[in-house]
Amino acid sequence: MINSLNILLPEIFLALSVFSILMIGVFTKKSFNLIFNLTSIILLITIVLIYNSSNNNGKIFLDSFSRDSFSDFFKILILFSSFFVLNSSRNFIKDNKIDKFEYPIIILISILGMFFMVSSNDLILFYLGLELQSLALYILASIDRDNLRSSESGIKYFVLSALSSGLLLYGCSLLYGFTGSTNFELIAMELNKENTGAVFAMVFILVGLAFKVSAVPFHMWTPDVYEGAPTSITSFFAVVPKAAGLALIIKFMLVPFVNILSEWQIIIIFISIASMILGAVAAIIQKNIKRLLAYSSIGHIGYALAGVATGSVSGYESSIVYISIYVIMNIGAFSCLYLLQKNNEYKENISDLSGISKKHPLLSISFLIILFSLAGIPPLGGFFAKFYIFTSVLEQQMYVLAIIGLLTTVISAFYYLRIIKTIYFDDAITSFDTSKNKFAKLTIFISCFILITFFLYPSVLNNIASSLFII
């Protein structure tokens, strides 16, 4: 019993914290600042709890909940990214009058859902975790009720995500029907090429997961939600659920679907190629930075899935390295957007960046580093992320996937360079008040520092990723 509680300690702490701060929020007037600070502390304490209890690995609740180094890594990644996303957006939340005490609590609830997702070893627990996360994200997408765009984005996300959840649940039901179990290991034993019904079920599950990570052709909600939702929400959507979603895809391929590699491989290859192409081509015509980052995130998920498509451990490792660097780059990119503020109005268009290098040289250099890294220009972190992906793809002799990946990298470099051209070579239009948001500046500095210095120790993250697959 005690051992079970130790395995579940981060989740228990997080759940109790949510209930506690909810009570504080309800019974305290103007409690946003207090709840916000408490949420930040809770996130840091949970990281410490996971790190200190990393030896408490094992399976509980009839093997439905699994804790190992793989789930611990993703939980820490989720917590760190949530901490920086939340704190860098604090000023934005206040300026846009969405400083409701429920805001940070809903983020904690979605994180709790993600925790159950990445630790799930059973279809029921996986689905419960997914829905807990999704329900919280529905509310977040439409939290700015007075804003028509925010309400619209919330409805779009709710309808399309509900559809994906329905397909996913249908897939889980079919899988249970054809294999006679909801446990991942037992499913793997029953799942083979002859079991046609179960392979059919696998397709539905993959469709549902592709929705959650906004991979093509299930991406249609992403640009509208990213553009319509407040920037603080968009940054959370772009970073945290992506990491959790990819962890889940890797887990499904590694455990229940391990014996039908050839069946799911072709689907993942198609999704990966389609995401890379659409992410590269559709972003060229965008004028809104958030919408551009939406298509950029679709493209990046395509690269991460290319590693998964290999079906090899080295491919999974490269995907984990990729998503980790993707998280760092996007946190930095959105933190830059929080500094594009004047008279409490935040700019979102690429044209608003015209000539800012003349008045804000440090902000311009930060943009330059992050955008070059997103484009995969050496020796920045983004280059190594793509390098590991392409290496693992070429190891499996998947040359078509590698060639398309390289071509889309070149195309995507064009629209990143276009933004840099606007920053450095266009006439200055306006200046911004960048002095207010100190934490966003700190986040940008940390992000740029990691991306610049990554080439000195590129193997560190790779070694961590390798240690997650000692089975």
200-212 pLDDT, tens digit per residue, is 888 888 888 888 8
What pLDDT does residue 471 have? 47
Point out which residues pair with 345 in neighbouring strands: 342
User: 123-162: string of b/e by CB count within 10 Å (b at 16+)?
Assistant: bebbbbbbbbbbbbbbbbbbbbeebeebbbbbebbbebbe
Is the pLDDT reported for residue 112 higher than 90? yes
Q: Which residues contact 77 (CB under 8 A, 6 or more apart)?
A: 243, 323, 324, 327
Displacement of CA 350 from its chain's centroid (Å)? 23
Angle between helices 148-179 and 196-212 (to 10 degrees): 160
Kindly state the percentage of the chain with pLDDT values over 90: 22
User: 320-355: string of b/e by CB count within 10 Å (b at 16+)?
Assistant: bbbbbbbbbbbbbbbbbbbbbbeeeebbbebebbbb
Block residue for tokens 């994906």: 164
Answer yes or no: are the C-beta atoms of 164 and 218 closer than 8 Å. Answer: yes
Number of residues in the chain = 471
What is the 8-class DSSP label of residue 434? -
User: Which two structure tokens, joined as six digits, stand for 153?
Assistant: 């984005």
Instruction: Name the amino acid, one letter, at 171.
Output: G
Is the pLDDT reported for residue 378 higher than 90? no
Three-class SS of residue 81?
helix
Displacement of CA 244 from its chain's centroid (Å)? 6
What pLDDT does residue 187 have? 86
Closest CA to 161 of 132, 199, 182: 132
Rounded average pLDDT over 182-194: 81
Is the pLDDT reported for residue 138 higher than 80? yes
What average pLDDT does the chain have? 86
